[in-house]
Structure 1
Amino acid sequence: MRKPLLIAWLLLGATPAFAAEEPSGCDKFKWPIERERAALTAPDRAKLASGSEQAALPASAVTLALVTPGEARLPSPPERAPKDGTFAGFASFKTAPKAGVYTISLSAGAWVDVVQDGHFLKPVAFSGATDCDGIRKTMKYELSAKPFLLQVSGAKENSVSIAILPSE
């Protein structure tokens, strides 16, 4: 009885140490985020409902309204199952972007799936940090000149700002 209790106590005591390893602060991102952060915090962000079809990439950031995962009816099951009590949504971009590397940045923590030509794309780079007002994570994806779908799931809030910008 004492051994399991001791193990549980040690694991609980170790939890803050693991949390402390997560980068904190705007200077902890792996690349400059000023452009993405400015887009994500701009007051004129367009508002999109989940399921929106966009003719082209937004010039700046958008705020995507999210709903419960069941209501979201994501076109592809997310690669990471959303937890109970979280929100999800998606938007499709029908006009093909110019082929190249794009940064997809989020104002809050959530899982992102980018689906193009029926396949989940893997990010070529990822960076994230807590305690940076306006931006939580940014990823770089290699997009081809074809329409794509952006899915967000596992968000704690019912909306998230998203910037999709050509990588510099």
Structure 2
Amino acid sequence: MRSSALLVLVLLTSTSAWAAEEPSGCDKFKWNIDHARAALTAPDRTKLSSGSELGAMPSTGVTIALVAPADAKLPTPPERAPKDGTFAGFAKFPAVPKAGSYTLSLSKGAWVDLVQDGHFLKPTAFSGATDCDGIRKTVKFELSASPFVLQISGVRENSISLVVQPSE
């Protein structure tokens, strides 16, 4: 009986901790998301298929069509294995105009691997919230002025919108 009560207590507290990590509402992001949200919901987003190579850094958001992970042919195995029933894809981006901090914003929950010069880049910061129309997650990276590959996996739907912008 005591072990059952302990198990219930552990499950309740771990659920609360998980919920605390997932704030709800647009005002719960750690930094201003207005520009990213506008780009992610703009009607003129560039539409790409997985594996596309962009000729220039887009000034608007892009929407990538995703496929099953086995069909995605990601250039580098993702750092986190995709779950069954999810979608994945990638796009090759040209060099950013100048080295510095850039924010990648996503319309949906996803695992992101950013590969530059043959190495996975580690995020310098991230923020996310549920129940904010058009945006779910933002991740900051330090980019050098060289091309990079953005790999997306673990998405529950077959497309995702994203935008890469200089960090504010």
Per-residue CA shift, 1:25-69, capped at 9, x if unaligned? Answer: 111100000000000000111110000011121111000000000
1:17 paired with 2:16, answer yes
Instruction: Provide the residue aligned with 1:72 in structure 2.
Output: 72
TM superposition score normalised by structure 2: 0.92
Instruction: Give 1:5 deviation, angstroms.
Output: 4.6
Instruction: Provide the residue aligned with 2:96 in structure 1.
Output: 97
Per-residue CA shift, 1:106-150, capped at 9, x if unaligned? Answer: 000000010000000011111111111100000111110111000
Contact 1:102 1:140 in 2 (8 A): yes
**Which residues of 2 match residues 1-150 of structure 1 at below 5 A?**
2=1, 5-14=4-13, 16-21=15-20, 22-93=22-93, 95-98=94-97, 99-150=99-150
TM superposition score normalised by structure 1: 0.92
Per-residue CA shift, 1:76-105, capped at 9, x if unaligned? Answer: 011111111000000001x32121111100
- Aligned-partner Cα distance in 2 for 1:4–1:67: 44
Instruction: Give 1:167 deviation, angstroms.
Output: 1.5
Letter in 2 for 1:28: K
Letter in 1 for 2:76: S
- Aligned-partner Cα distance in 2 for 1:50–1:106: 16
Instruction: Give 1:3 deviation, angstroms.
Output: 5.8
- Aligned-partner Cα distance in 2 for 1:48–1:8: 47
- Aligned-partner Cα distance in 2 for 1:127–1:39: 17
- Aligned-partner Cα distance in 1 for 2:58–2:88: 20
- Aligned-partner Cα distance in 2 for 1:157–1:11: 32
Q: Share of identical aligned residues, percent?
A: 66
- Aligned-partner Cα distance in 1 for 2:119–2:137: 22
Contact 1:104 1:140 in 2 (8 A): yes
- Aligned-partner Cα distance in 2 for 1:4–1:85: 35
Q: Which runs of 5+ in 1 are unaligned?
A: none
- Aligned-partner Cα distance in 1 for 2:137–2:155: 12
Per-residue CA shift, 1:3-29, capped at 9, x if unaligned? Answer: 665455445544642343121111110
> Superposition RMSD on alpha carbons, in Å?
1.5
